[in-house]
Structure formats: structure tokens, C-alpha cells
A and B are shown apart, each in its own frame.
Chain A
Amino acid sequence: MLSKRIIPCLDIKDGRTVKGVHFEHLRDAGDPVELAIHYSEAGADELVFLDISATEEKRKTLSQLVNKIASKINIPFTVGGGIRSVEDVELLLDSGADKISVNTAAFKHPELISKLAGRFGSQCVVLAIDTQFDIKGNFEKGSDWLVHLNGGRMRTTKRALDWAIEGEKLGAGEILLTSMDNDGAKNGFALEITKQISEAVNIPVIASGGAGKMQDFKDVFTKGKADAALAASVFHFKEIEIPDLKTYLDKNNICVRI
């Protein structure tokens, strides 16, 4: 049986790991290479690195960092943040990334997904979707989970569910779904939208945003139907240790790699 994956996420800014709440108020969480080694030794099933550096200039150092990480860890890892072209992806894969994640650029130019899937294979293309439940009523069809871009700063009128389905058709191999409402709040994952999307697509869904306690992981796998769960704060600040989490999930009849 395929196990559920536990994925620590490292947000990278200027070469350091940072973590915020609701995508803001960033604080330092350590050296990404050290954290990556720690997590892979602790039994993480995969790692995700999202570069949130502000400028292109600072991004050039990203491939060097990827190279350093790739040479040290023996589990799969995904790199995302500001990816706009086949060339961007080529550089990251050549530096040792196993998958890449696309977000804003793919939304603005959906053909980027098919181009990347055609060139590198779907297994390599993770479509990251940042979403928030819009209760302001500005959406013509009523309140819904809408896609947000540019690190959450820009709202669109597209439903996250529709974009996930389109993304799969375009060739995305996995969906990384982040609820901005839940991000960093430690009150649990957004179960409803995770379940909706997971049941609507035939590719794995990685749930992200809101992990606070071990039960949140159990809920997102059972009620949220997620294939993998991603978290940052609870791991970086050692509130939950991965081996403990996996033992807990195993005891609760959720298949995990121990």
C-alpha cells in the first residue's frame, strides 16, 4: 500500500529558512542545508523548498543551494518560487532538484505547465495553488476558495477547484494546495477544499497550511483525503518531531513509512 507522505517545507529567503503566519511576519528558522539533512535523517518522506526571495538577483544563488542540498540528502525534493521558464527548470533539475513547483507564472501562462510536462515529464511538475476562502462577496458566483497569486498578494476570480482540474489536464503531476487562511495558524488544515480537490483530480494532492498538532495530520489524510501533508513551523520549531508523528499515524491506522 502506498504510504501517506510527510513533507517538511522550507521557505527560503536570501539563503536562510524563514517562516511566517498567513504569509507575513517572517522569522528566521535556520540554515536550509542543516535542516534538510536533519529532516531526511528523521524520516521525512520528501522535502519542498520554496524560494521567496524578492529579486531575481538573489535568486541566482538558489541553484547553488539546491546543488548543496541535493548532494547531501537521499529523499526526493521539490524546488519552487519564481519559476517562469523551461530554462529556469533546466537549471534547477541540473542542480539536483527532483521536481519543481510552479505557481503564479503557470496561472498567467497555463501553457508553461504543458511545456514543462512535455519536456521533463508530468512527474516533475508540481502545481502550487495558494487559496483563500473569499467571504467578501466580490466573486460573481458567491463565496468560494479562490486562487491567489504573487505569494498571496493578488486575488483572482478563479476557483481553486477549477484551476486544479485544469492544471491536471495541462499535465501537472501533483497539486500542492496551500490554504492561506490556515497558513501558520496551527488550527488544522483546510479539510473541505482539500477533500474536494483530491476527489476531483486523479493526481496526488499535497495539503499545506495549518498543521498544529498530530491530529491535524490524521484529519487531513482521513477527512481531507490528502495524499501528502506539508508543514513548516511545527517541524522547524520542534513542536512535532517526525518520528513521533509517524508513530502516532501508524497507531491510528494510517499507512506511513517507518
Chain B
Amino acid sequence: MKAVIINYHAGNIRSVTFALERIGVTPILSDNAEEIRSADKVIFPGVGEASSAMKYLKDKKLDTVIKELKQPLFGICLGMQLLCKSSEEGNTECLGIFDVPVRHFISPDEPSKSKSGDIKVPQIGWNKIYDLKSPLFNGIKENEYMYFVHGYYAEKNEHSIATANYILEYSCALHKDNFYAAQFHPEKSATAGEKLLKNFFEL
């Protein structure tokens, strides 16, 4: 099993590496097209800002490499958002695997909505996931908690394999063909997150 983590300088990928090692997978970190293409499984992580992350992918020509992959790929957090069609963060055109827009939790028309002290953006912490619809969630129960850190979300859509609710209902995991993605961080989501990563490597 050759596992490659796409290393595109979008935040901290050390925790993903450690999480994979805990489930017995030794990943290679790379931004090399050949290395990524030759992997059995690809992890596309990311924490950071969408437009600069997309720019880096394009500069390295990794945008086309990712789109053409045929093996299972798992996008995490910003990685998931970049697999969508576009992001309101920096008005970014993304990879478009999932034909879904990524929006900010606070509508530009109602910035005061967040100022109640009750609804904080970004969402940071543990939230429930439900409507689970993928072998990725084998052994994971409905309403299991996962760890989220994000200010932007993917609208509910036909590719949704899990839903979460924060301010509104949104898709927190997606699947289409060989592409899988989650908004939450399985690498930081205790045993439930570990189970999900194991499931991905058993696909």
C-alpha cells in the first residue's frame, strides 16, 4: 500500500502523518506529480486560505494532476473545499470535482447575525455528523462527534455522504467516483476519526 499525502504548504500536515502512522500506514509526503500518480491512496489535507492554496496547486500544476487521479483520494477540511466548484473565500475558482459552491457561515447581507455571542465563526470544536451514507462510515454511528475547524461550508448537495448542523445544515462529507472528502478532521477526531481513516484505506 503506497499512501501519499499531497504536501502543498497549506497548513500543518504533521498531525495527518501521525494519525496514519497510528493506524499502521506510513505515508509519503510529496508535491511531485509522478509520486502522487503512483500512489494507491492519496490524502489531500489542508488548513489555510483557499485562494493562496489554489494558486500554489496551479503553480505546481497539481490542479490537473489531482483532477485526473483514478485511485481513491480523500480530501480533508480545506482539501475538501478545494475539491468543490468555488469558494467565497477570496472568490476562488476551485477544482470542481464536486459541483458545489463553498460559502461563508455569515451571510454578507447579515453580518450582525454572528454578533449575538452565541453563534461564533469559525466553528471550532466537536459537532455531530448524521445522514451517513458511505462505506467510509462503516462502524461509525449516526450522530457521532467529529472535530471541526472552519468558517466556510459546502451547501447540501447530491454528493453528500454526511450532514452537520451549525447555523444551518450543510454537507460535511462528500463522495463522487474515486473522490472522498470531509470537512471535519478525522485525524483529530479520537477513535471515530481513526475508524474513518481505516475505512478509507480499506476501500
Least CB distance from B90 to A in Å reads 13
Q: How far is the CA of A204 from the CA of B118 in the complex (A)?
A: 10
Which residues of B in the span 10-46 have a Cβ within 8 Å of any Cβ on A? Answer: 11-12, 14-15, 18-19, 21-22
Q: How far is the CA of A59 from the CA of B120 in the complex (A)?
A: 34
The residue on A at minimum CB distance from B23 is: A74
A75-B188, A75-B190, A257-B145 given; A228·B125 CB < 8 A: yes
Best-buried of A74, A174, A227 by chain B (most CB within 10 Å)? A74
Q: How far apart sit A124 and B124, CA to CA, in the bound complex (Å)?
A: 11
| Interface presence of B92 (CB below 8 A) | no
Give Cα A95 to B120, complex, Å: 29
Whether the Cβ atoms of B126 and A45 lie closer than 8 Å is yes
Given A70-B15, A202-B115, decide whether A3 and B122 contact each other with a Cβ distance below 8 A: no
Contacts of A124 in B (CB 8 A): 11-12, 47
A202 touches B120 (CB 8 A): yes
Give me 11 other A-B pairs in contact (C-beta within 8 A), A3-B126, A3-B145, A204-B124 excluded: A3-B125, A40-B190, A74-B19, A74-B191, A76-B188, A94-B12, A96-B15, A174-B124, A203-B120, A203-B122, A203-B124
Binding site for B on A (CB under 8 A): 1-5, 40, 45, 70-71, 74-76, 93-98, 120-124, 173-174, 198-200, 202-204, 225, 227-228, 257
What 10 A-B pairs come out closest when comparing CB atoms? A199-B117, A257-B145, A257-B126, A123-B149, A3-B126, A96-B14, A76-B188, A93-B12, A2-B127, A71-B18
